[in-house]
A and B are shown apart, each in its own frame.
Chain A
Amino acid sequence: MPQLITADFLPQLFWLAITFGALYYIISRMAIPKIGDVIEQRHGRIAADVAEASRLKADTEKAIESYEAALAEARANAHTIVSENRAEMTAEINREAAALDERLSKKLAEAEVSIAKTRNAAMAQVSGIAQETTAAIVTELLGKKPTKTAISSAVSSAAKG
């Protein structure tokens, strides 16, 4: 078996030491910093990109939030305007109704006053007619004219009834 030829051991060990040492130097001083740098850089880049993405997402959410706030405010404004208008209109209607009521009741009162006046006048005429009629009837029945005072007292007592 060639592996057991002891004379071949030393050259192998010697060159193993040299080549392994050289490879260790190359890997630890050159390869690891190089590859490590790239991997590090990539991780940094990915982390930065993710951070940027989450920042953009936060921005978007903020925009959505402000949009919704504006929407809600507009809705509230609209609501206020509607209710204000409604109150105004109600007040105007009430006012006009009140004015109309007042006018109507004034007219009613005037009408009542004139009715009362007319009735009084009519009543006064009724009493005059009744006295004349009474004087005529009494004259026809008794043949003599009664006194004015007697007639008026008699009529008024009859009217009182």
Chain B
Amino acid sequence: MRRSGQQIEKGAGCVASNTSHGSEGGLALDPMHQFEITRIVPMKFGSIDVSFTNSSLWMVLTVAAVSALLLLGSKRIVPGRLQSVGELIYEFISNMVRDTMGDEGRKFFPFILTLFCFILGSNMLGLFTLPVILHPFTVTSHIIVTFALAAMVWLGATAYGFYKNGLGYLKLFAPSGTPAVMLPLLVPIEIISYLSRPVSLSVRLFANMMAGHTMLKVFAAFVVALGWAGIVPLAVMVGFTGLEFLVAFLQAFIFAILSCMYINDAMHPSH
């Protein structure tokens, strides 16, 4: 339940929202408040709203962090720490692309690497917080963002499938070796599963991110509300935060590897 005071601050930027929020205290904290979009710089492009929001800010921060991680590393034969992290990510995705799509899929490597880095970066950055200065926000906790990413992959893979195989791409819906009797049953199932791909892909990421952050916020409210006994939910939060880091990585990995598989389906429709 939000009060009218919080409604007003919606347009006031994240700094103001943080301080005024702290004064509310205790259980009055709304665990969903962290997902609110606040317009930092309202902008219009014709009649289209293209305001620079806190979400945009974290997207830019994600790009900056990922770029720094990948570009600032040294170029030595024996890598330093930062260089090692960059190479680790590079080789991890490189191997994943090779394993799922073979050498043919090499041209999608930059895209998959970007996808993985963007999702991993925003998942991870959402877990850090700079109190007062910057309200934490997870870009991927918004269904519209994850759905846009999933739709991009799905539409791209579908278009590429038809471009590469023509109508032969429809063979994807009738796996070879299926008895003709089974086809009326199997083809609709395959089509439904194909159509649900972008939905499952986006909802999986969005729900994981939102659930984790909501849970952390709820426990944080308990810490404040319980006084000295708050040490118990605090301990739970510490463990949970560790788990959230795992989830942040895992969801980025799942998103990337499923994208690889969908693109691989587009290249080789007959299973």
Contacts and interface: CB of A to CB of B under 8 A. Distances in A.
B90 interface: yes
B21 to A, nearest CB: 14
Contacts, number: 132
B48 interface: yes
A39 B117 CA distance: 19
A12 B110 contact: no
A35 interface: yes
B189 interface: no
B53 to A, nearest CB: 5
Interface of A: 1-5, 7-16, 18-20, 22-24, 26-28, 30-32, 34-39, 41-42, 45
Contacts of B145: 12-13, 16
A38 B70 CA distance: 12
Interface in B26-43: 32-33, 35-37, 39
A34 to B, nearest CB: 7
Nearest to B78: A42
A11 B114 contact: no
Contact of B52 (A8, A15, A38, A45): A15
Interface stretch (B136-144, B164-172, B179-187, B250-258): B136-144
B35 A26 contact: no
A2 B90 CA distance: 35
Interface residues of B, number: 50
A35 B50 CA distance: 35
B90 A3 contact: no
A8 to B, nearest CB: 4
A20 B142 CA distance: 15
B114 A35 contact: no
Interface string B39-63: 1000001001111110110011011
A23 B71 contact: no
B87 interface: yes
Nearest to B86: A35
A61 to B, nearest CB: 29
A32 B36 contact: no
A37 to B, nearest CB: 7
- Most A Cβ at <10 Å: residue of B32, B37, B45, B139: B37
B52 A31 contact: no
Contacts of A28: 110-111, 114
Given A10-B48, A12-B37, A39 B90 contact: yes
Contacts of B60: 15, 19
A38 B79 contact: yes
A32 B94 CA distance: 10
